[in-house]
Structures are given as C-alpha cells and as structure tokens.
A = this chain, B = another copy of it.
Amino acid sequence: MTTVHVRLRIDLGPACSIGPGKVALLEAVDRGGSLSGAARDLGMSYRRAWLLLEEANASFDEPLTRSSVGGAGGGGVELTEFGRALVTTYREFERSVDALGAKHFRSLAARAAAPKRGAPTRRRPLNRR
C-alpha cells in the first residue's frame, strides 16, 4: 500500500510564509520550554533556531512566543495563545491536505516506480506527523 504524503508551505502574505521547519520549532519550544532544547531536539544550531524563531515572530502582527520567567534553569520561551493557534491550524490543515492528496492521487500512486535496490530513500523532514 502506497501512502501519499504532501509537503507544504503556506504563503500568507509577501512577508509571511509558514512551513514544516517553523512549525516543528514552535512545537519543540512548546514541549521543552527553551530554545536551546528545541534546537537540540531538531538537530540544528542554536543560532539557526534563534533566527528561524525571530523570522516566525516577525511574520505576524502579534508574537508567536514570549519569554517565560522562573523554573530551575531561569528564563525560557513559551508559545503565546496565538502561536499555539497557528500550530494547531497548520497541523489540521496538513492532515486535511494529506487526506485530499490520498484521494486525488490514489490511482497515480499505484503506478509509482519501485525504489532502486540500494538507492537512498528520500529524506523525510524531522518531526513530521
């Protein structure tokens, strides 16, 4: 049984684009409450995670994350309600698109070529559900 999987990126305006990278970062921040932990989770440098979060936060007229205070390690980062709404909307949309893709491409997927023996399989993005 072949599964159809759709990779997507959504442009909500000329300065606002959301894809799997930013969403996975927001989810990792939500899980661990820190940007350095999120960077580690996703196997990216702290600098790259910081820049990506910066870009995500500048994409809307309201921030997706805020600094949290207290806790054993001092201050951390947490999602705002708006940030959490974005993640939820993106993941719901992704599930709908995957279902729609399976419907549209069912007969074409049955004709997909078999992978060559020994050929590397295509890398799947991290933290994809």
Q: Is the CB of A93 within 8 A of B89?
A: no
A105 CB–B CB distance under 8 Å:
yes
Q: Nearest residue in B to A11 (C-beta to C-beta)?
A: B5
User: A113 at the A/B interface (Cβ < 8 Å)?
Assistant: yes
**Count of A interface residues, CB-CB < 8 Å:** 43
Inter-subunit contact A112/B10 (CB<8 Å):
no
Specify which chain B residues have a CB less than 8 angstroms from the CB of A58 in the assembled complex. Answer: 113
For A116, the chain B residues whose CB sits under 8 A away are 15
A-side residues, CB < 8 A to B, are 2, 4-17, 58-62, 82, 85-86, 89, 92-93, 96-97, 100-101, 104-105, 108-109, 111-116, 119, 121-122
